[in-house]
C-alpha cells in the first residue's frame, strides 16, 4: 500500500487490487515476524496477499531503514528488479499468500487472463509509487500522516457508530519510516488530530476516524 494523492481521484481508486486468477501453486502461510524473502534473493515467485499484512523495507549501509510500502489483502508483492528482490518482506500479522510463478508475469504460462491481471497489478504499483514520491516531496508532516490514515481507513477500516475504525498492525516507527518522518513527529501528528477531534484513539493501535472530511481535507492540503 502506497499513500496516494486525493485531489484528483477518489478514495475508491485505492481499493485493493484483487487478483482472482487461478494458480497451481499451494498457498503460503506465515506467522507474524517471519520473512517471505530478503533483499537480493533471486525472484522465483510473486505473491498475492489473501489475508494479513506484510512490510517491505530496505536498509542503508549505515543501518537506517526505509519502509517502502505495506502489503494488504489484494495487493501483489515480489515484483522483480533485475531478477532479484529489491526489498526485504516480513509479516506483521499472520498472513496467507497465493504464490505465482515468475513466468506467469513474463509470458502468462499460457493463461492470458492471469498474465493481464499480474501486469495490471505491476502497472498500478508503479502509478501508486509515483504518487507516493510526490507526497514525500511536497506534503507537510501533518498532511503525510493525514494521507496515510485516510487511505488506510478508507481501504481497510470498518464502519462503527460515530466513525470508521481500524487497528494498525504497524508501530509508529514503521509509519515514520514509511512517510519519511521521525517517530516523534508522527506521534505529535496523531496527538494533534486527536485533540482537534478528527480522530480518536482506543489504545495505541486502534484509530477511529470521527471526521473523514476533515481528514481528507488535511491530506489534500486544504485544511486551515
Q: What is the pLDDT of residues 174-185, one digit of tens each?
A: 999 999 999 999
CB distance 69 to 56 below 8 Å: yes
Q: Could you give the percent of the chain with pLDDT greater than 90?
A: 60
Q: Which of 105-114, 137-146, 193-202, 203-212 has the lowest mean pLDDT?
A: 105-114
Q: For 125-147, what is the mean pLDDT?
A: 86
Band (pLDDT 50/70/90 cuts) for residue 10 is: very low
Q: What is the pLDDT of residues 156-177, one digit of tens each?
A: 999 988 789 999 999 999 999 9
Q: What is the pLDDT of residue 42?
A: 95
Taking residues 100-127, what's their average pLDDT?
80
What is the value of pTM for the model shown? 0.86
CB 102 within 8 A of CB 46: yes
The residue ranges of every structural domain in the chain are 11-135, 139-220
Second-level CATH architecture of 11-135: Sandwich (2.60)
Mean pLDDT confidence for 54-61? 93
CA atoms within 13 A on the CB side of 77: 33
Q: What is the per-residue pLDDT across 199-217, written as a single tens digit (0 to 9) for each?
A: 999 999 999 999 999 999 9
Q: Do 11-135 and 139-220 have matching folds?
A: no
CA distances from 106 to 27, 49, 145, 154 (A): 21, 20, 37, 33
Is pLDDT larger for residue 77 or for residue 120?
77
Residues 157, 198 contacting (CB under 8 angstroms):
no
Give the per-residue pLDDT at 60: 87
Fold assignment, 139-220:
Arc Repressor Mutant, subunit A (1.10.10)
Burial class of 188 by CB neighbour count within 10 A (0 to 12, 13 to 18, 19+) = middle
Amino acid at each position: 500500500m502506497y499513500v496516494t494523492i486525493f485531489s484528483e481521484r477518489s478514495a475508491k481508486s485505492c481499493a485493493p487490487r484483487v487478483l482472482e486468477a487461478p494458480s497451481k501453486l499451494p498457498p503460503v502461510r506465515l506467522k507474524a515476524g517471519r520473512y517471505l524473502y530478503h533483499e537480493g534473493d533471486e525472484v522465483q515467485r510473486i505473491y498475492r496477499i489473501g489475508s494479513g499484512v506484510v512490510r517491505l523495507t530496505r536498509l542503508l549501509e549505515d543501518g537506517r531503514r526505509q519502509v517502502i510500502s505495506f502489503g494488504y489483502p489484494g495487493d501483489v508483492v515480489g515484483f522483480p528488479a533485475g531478477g532479484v528482490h529489491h526489498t526485504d518482506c516480513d509479516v506483521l500479522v499472520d498472513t496467507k499468500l497465493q504464490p505465482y510463478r515468475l513466468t506467469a508475469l513474463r509470458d502468462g504460462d499460457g493463461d492470458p487472463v492471469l498474465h493481464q491481471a499480474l501486469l495490471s497489478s505491476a502497472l498500478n504499483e508503479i502509478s501508486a509509487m509515483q504518487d507516493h514520491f510526490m507526497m514525500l516531496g511536497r506534503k507537510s508532516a501533518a498532511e503525510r500522516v493525514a494521507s496515510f490514515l485516510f487511505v488506510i481507513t478508507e481501504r481497510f477500516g470498518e464502519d462503527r457508530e460515530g466513525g470508521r475504525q481500524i487497528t494498525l498492525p504497524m508501530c509508529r516507527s514503521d509509519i515514520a519510516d514509511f512517510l519519511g518522518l521521525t517517530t516523534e513527529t508522527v506521534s505529535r501528528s496523531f496527538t494533534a488530530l486527536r485533540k482537534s477531534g478528527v480522530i480518536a484513539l482506543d489504545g495505541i493501535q486502534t484509530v477511529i476516524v470521527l471526521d473523514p472530511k476533515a481528514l481528507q481535507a488535511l491530506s489534500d492540503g486544504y485544511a486551515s
